[in-house]
Chain A
Amino acid sequence: MKRLTRFIKNSWLVVFMVPVLLFIYAPITWLITSSISTRAQLLAMPPRFFPENPTLKNYMDILVPGTAVSEVARTFKITLGNSLLVALVTTVICLIIASLAAYALARLRLRYKNNFIMGILSIRMIPEISLVIPLFIAAARFGWLDKPLVLIVTYLSFALPFAIWMLTTFFETIPIEMEDAALIDGSSRLNTLFKVILPLASPGIVSTALFIFLLAWDEFFFALIFTSTTASKTVPVAIAEFTGRYAVDITAMMTGGVLAALPPVILALLFQRYIVSGLSAGAVKG
């Protein structure tokens, strides 16, 4: 009954709901529509927002080898693989290094802890563009340019401070008694971290892993500078290239866009709860 009255009382809010939902979904609809239209249909004037004869041809062009017209479309699958590799490896390395550091910061009494936390926050603020020139020079010297390795290593510069910050927040919420019991029973610190803290903090770890994966998947600037061929090019670079040197291949660009957006969007929707708690922990401390 109470719910019903609230429902009626709030029904006028639809006035706001509708424009907000339109603003969210109109661009997405346009993206998907463009990816299932033929080029001829897209060039109709004025455009149709729902295609007459939807087609999966654009997806076939990208996903089935040999059917593609342009080179970017033909190699798009490879860049999807590169993105996946880079994002996954970055996430794993980050989680390992960050959980060690976060444990120390959340639990141990250390002399320079505050300085270290300040340092992490400052490092998190350094824009990629301020690091890129020296990293570019170093990568050229070591012959690391155009290898997935260089992306994995450089992505740590923004992913690691983020992961440490987030995990520290999550570790602090775990009751200390559990671990004291383990320590008194003679368990080593590492053992305690792996057997007691990590299992208890698993929601936090899932959140952190998701955020790191999304950050790495999204990254464009380092990939633009450090990669040049399909050996290491990631999806964002491939999508940007649909417009660059070649004439804009709009259907391929939109189809690539859908494919690039699907993994993060699906992950984020599946783990919605973790995203919301992660946003609060990662940004709003305490």
Chain B
Amino acid sequence: MRKLLTLRQQEERDGFWMLLPAIGVFGVISVLPILFTLVLSFTDTPLSNPTPQNFVGLKNFLAFINSKDFWASIWRTFYFTSVSVGLELILGLGIALLIHSKPFGWQFLRASLIIPWAVPTIVNGAIWRWIYNADYGALNGLLYSLGIIEKYQAWLTKPFLAMNLVIVADVWHSVPFIALILQAALATIPREIEEASMIDGASVWQRFVHIRLQLLRPAILVALVVRTVEAFRVFDIIYVITQGGPAFGTVTISYLTYLESFTYGHLGSGSALSFLISAITLMLALIYIRILYRPEVQK
């Protein structure tokens, strides 16, 4: 005779079976690969013969610590991340507040925001690459017609400028995400709180800093972390706009990993790099979890 299970045991059993497919998928395509990446990072495995071989210990990691290219790419990644996320947050907050005050055409603006957000990243890159084109691009055309520049400029030939232009393209694509999230969060602030503060004589600025910004804090933090993690691994848009150039000026840590693994064919050091990216990202993820996962959610 089958043993009768308590309700609690039944829940445990059903839950196990319902989670099993997800656990299986994660095990095979996420957990095992990341462990394998760690193993590879201690080897000197070539792309031409991709079986883990030639154990070299920590050599790959040490090589990066002493490599100027590595530190330059780390610096570029932090620059890209902080400037683009910073700009996106400021502009996103501004646009969210703008929509929230419901000026003429605010519904049109909100719908319009969806378009850059939905345009695929690669298409976004392709558009901006063409805008920045040295001979026929729209940026040259516009600035020339307005008399701001006297002759056409080759925008993407200066490393630092190229990095900033990639940031502009990223901002165009990602501001809508932050604006839409913050706008949705603003809409949930009870009108009474703001009205009460107005009656108490709070100025517009005080209302912004002490009420809106405070109540928006969870949404801002989440938007920040999601975007930071995403920006930190930036690859697609750089691949299309500059291919890492000029003179490695836009090679971020992800791009360096790609070059190392698939262009130079060093799977070992590529793995070491990609493991470092994961480690940094997971540190950011821990922040994310702390912010998002509030224990009161559990029932």
Contact = CB atoms under 8 A, between A and B. Distances in A.
Interface residues of A, number: 107
A43 B136 contact: yes
Given A17-B98, A221-B235, A283-B181, A131 B29 contact: yes
Interface string B114-150: 1111111111001111110101111011101100000
Interface stretch (A65-73, A121-129, A199-207): A121-129
Given A17-B98, A239-B123, A160 B25 contact: yes
Contacts of A276: 180, 184
A109 interface: yes
B11 A131 contact: no
A103 B15 CA distance: 8
A164 to B, nearest CB: 6
Contacts of A280: 181, 184-185
B130 A25 contact: no
Interface string A7-43: 1001101101100110111111011001000000011
Interface residues of B, number: 105
B173 to A, nearest CB: 10
A10 B102 CA distance: 8
B101 A260 contact: no
B111 A130 contact: no
A221 B110 CA distance: 30
Contact of B34 (A118, A126, A154): A126
B103 A10 contact: yes
A186 interface: no
Given A16-B98, A20-B98, A133-B270, A27 B293 contact: no
Given A28-B115, A267-B118, A269-B115, A220 B95 contact: no
Q: Is the interface of A mostly helix, strand, loop or mixed?
A: helix
A186 to B, nearest CB: 13
Interface in B185-241: 185, 218-219, 222-223, 226, 229, 232-233, 235-236, 239-240
Contact of A130 (B12, B109, B219, B278): B278
Contacts of A239: 122-123, 126, 240
A157 interface: yes
Nearest to B103: A13
Interface stretch (B56-64, B156-164, B284-292): B284-292
**6 smallest A-B Cβ distances: which pairs?**
A125-B285, A13-B103, A268-B118, A134-B33, A236-B122, A134-B36
Given A47-B141, A133-B33, A134-B40, 15 more contacts: A21-B112, A24-B116, A27-B116, A30-B131, A100-B21, A109-B299, A125-B281, A131-B33, A136-B50, A140-B50, A218-B121, A250-B133, A272-B114, A280-B185, A284-B181
21 contacts: A7-B104, A27-B127, A30-B131, A97-B25, A101-B18, A118-B289, A121-B292, A122-B282, A124-B285, A130-B274, A131-B33, A133-B36, A134-B32, A137-B51, A154-B29, A224-B239, A243-B240, A260-B123, A265-B118, A286-B218, A286-B294
